[in-house]
């Protein structure tokens, strides 16, 4: 039962990264791919109708984790207090920017909110990457089951790490690049004209950046978190996850060139899911490794709710998520097709 809920929470988080990832990524490259006001509206219309729904995954992931792993929820949210609060402010600013931008036909007003939107998107992607890095590296959990990490300490992933150090910063950067690439592929798929051309032009350099950082991070991870190597050695079938990741990464390259935008975007989705699965497999059954004494690590077993609670939650969770899926299917179908710079799109 714990394993099932571990997979479900991971699924929701992956859903969040895949869906909200492309609108975050569109935000990161927004100022570069869209120059004129009409082009900027084109990008916003390419994410606008689905963005609100995409954030449901974050709320659902938080709620599901609270329900199934209350101890993990309590420990990680209070331990990552500062970065989470900053992420909340960024989410508020980003939502506000998209909401407000089109209310006034005024250049200054629009460029203000355009910049807020792009900046908040980039910082959010960076922050989520740093969070993933922290979960793999481990945090200084104490015997009470709590910890607290500052933004930074001495930038070493040693006994008293901060959120940012030489291991998590590359992960955060690569997350920002990966999300930007994901967004660029979405924009390339959903738009035409100059915006599409510029978005496609960005994919190549971003791809190389992701590859370089991915190699670096893989090497660093085995050094920082030996548990990852142990897991793969003990269960070789787990190599399927990095293999899928690699296939996704190469497929992006393959489909991107002959203008097969949807396939390239889906390849990027496979890549992201593969990467997250690799990370989840690497730390399992830990959900938050301790950076000191490994026996203090939080696992799916010592953080879960009672079995009655978990089986009850399954009864509303499954129909609830089926509804969400149906809704996603309908909305994406309704807003299918390309968005153009001029005229009545959607």
Partner 1 sequence: MDSALVMHRLHFAFTITYHYLFPQLTMGLALLILILKTMALWTRDERYSGSARFWAKIFAINFAFGVITGIPMEFQFGTNWAAFSREAGAVIGQTLGMEGVFSFFLESSFLGLFLYGEKRLTPLSHWGAAFMVFLGSWLSGYLIISTDAWMQHPVGYQIGPDGHVMLTSFWALLSNPWAQWQYLHNMFASVVTASFVMSAIGAYYLLVGQHEQYARTFLRVGVVCGFIFVMMLPFPTGDGQGKAVALNQPQTLAAMEGLFQSEEGAPMVLLGQPDMEKLRLDNPVEVPHVLSFLTYQRWKAKVQGLNDFPKDLWPENIPLLYYSYHIMVGLGTLLMPVMALAAFLLYRGQLYTFRPMLWALMLAFPFPYIATIAGWLTAELGRQPWLIFGVMRTAQGASPYVSAGNGLFTLLGFLGLYAVLSVLFVFLIGREIYHGPAPQPQHKG
Q: Under the rule (CB under 8 A), what is the footprint of partner 1?
A: 49, 52-53, 55-56, 58-60, 62-64, 66-68, 70-71, 73-79, 81-82, 84-85, 88-89, 91-93, 95-96, 99-100, 103, 144-148, 305-306, 308-309, 312-313, 316-317, 320-321, 323-324, 327, 331, 344, 346
| The dihedral formed by the CA atoms of 20, 56, 13 and 200, expressed in degrees to the nearest 10 | -10
To which H or E segment does residue 286 belong? strand 286-288
Q: Is 152 helix (H, G, I), strand (E, B) or coil?
A: strand
Instruction: Pick between residue 258 and residue 337 the one whose CB is nearest to partner 1.
Output: 337
Beta bridge partners of 299: 286
Shortest Cβ distance from residue 49 to partner 1 (Å)?
7
Instruction: CB nearer to partner 1: give 237 or 308.
Output: 308
Rounded to a whole number of angstroms, the minimum distance from the CB of residue 333 to partner 1 is 13
Neighbours of 322 (CB within 10 A): 10
Q: Provide the CB-side half-sphere exposure for 157 (13 A, CA).
A: 22
Closest CB 39 distance from partner 1, rounded Å: 22
Nearer to partner 1, 123 or 313 (CB): 313
Of 32 and 73, CB closest to partner 1: 73
Residue with tokens 């293999």: 243
Q: Which two tokens stand for residue 241?
A: 């996850």
Residue 328 C-beta: closest distance to partner 1, Å: 9
- Specify the pairing of strand 286-288 against strand 298-299: antiparallel
Between 131 and 249, CB nearer to partner 1:
131
Q: Which helix (H) or strand (E) segment is 299 a member of? A: strand 298-299
Q: Which is nearer to partner 1, 101 or 198 (CB)?
A: 101
169 class by beta-carbon count within 10 Å (0-12 exposed, 13-18 middle, 19+ buried): middle
State the sign of the Cα–Cα–Cα–Cα dihedral 292, 70, 134, 86: negative
CB closer to partner 1 out of 79 and 183? 79
Smallest gap from Cβ 53 to partner 1, in A, equals: 6
The least CB distance from residue 132 to partner 1, in Å, is: 18
DSSP H or E run through 64: helix 37-68
Min CB(93)–partner 1 separation in Å: 8
Cα 98 from chain centroid (whole Å): 19
């Amino acid at each position: 039962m714990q394993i099932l809920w571990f997979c479900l929470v991971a699924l929701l988080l992956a859903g969040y990264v895949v869906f909200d990832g492309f609108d975050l990524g569109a935000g990161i490259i927004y100022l570069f791919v869209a120059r004129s006001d009409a082009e900027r509206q084109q990008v916003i219309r390419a994410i606008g109708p689905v963005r609100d729904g995409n954030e449901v995954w974050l709320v659902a992931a938080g709620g599901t984790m609270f329900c199934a792993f209350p101890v993990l929820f309590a420990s990680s949210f209070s331990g990552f207090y500062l970065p989470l609060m900053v992420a909340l402010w960024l989410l508020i600013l980003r939502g506000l920017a998209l909401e407000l931008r089109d209310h006034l036909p005024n250049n200054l007003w629009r460029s203000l909110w355009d910049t807020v939107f792009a900046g908040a998107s980039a910082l959010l992607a960076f922050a989520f990457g740093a969070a993933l890095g922290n979960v793999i590296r481990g945090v200084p959990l104490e015997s009470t089951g709590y910890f607290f990490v500052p933004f930074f300490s001495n930038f070493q992933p040693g006994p008293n790490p901060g959120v940012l150090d030489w291991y998590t910063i590359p992960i955060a950067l690569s997350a920002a690049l990966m999300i930007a690439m994901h967004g660029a592929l979405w924009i390339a798929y959903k738009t035409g004209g100059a915006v599409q051309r510029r978005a496609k032009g960005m994919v190549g350099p971003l791809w190389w950046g992701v590859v370089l950082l991915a190699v670096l991070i893989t090497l660093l991870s085995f050094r920082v978190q030996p548990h990852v190597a142990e897991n793969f050695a003990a269960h070789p079938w787990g190599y399927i996850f990095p293999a899928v990741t690699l296939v996704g990464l190469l497929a992006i390259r393959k489909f991107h060139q002959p203008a097969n935008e949807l396939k390239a975007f889906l390849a990027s989705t496979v890549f992201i899911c593969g990467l997250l699965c690799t990370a989840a497999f690497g730390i399992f059954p830990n959900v938050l490794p301790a950076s000191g004494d490994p026996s203090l690590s939080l696992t799916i077993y010592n953080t879960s709710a009672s079995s009655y609670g978990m089986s009850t939650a399954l009864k509303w969770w499954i129909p609830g998520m089926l509804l969400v899926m149906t809704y996603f299917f309908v909305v994406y179908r309704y807003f299918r097709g390309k968005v153009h710079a001029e005229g009545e799109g959607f």
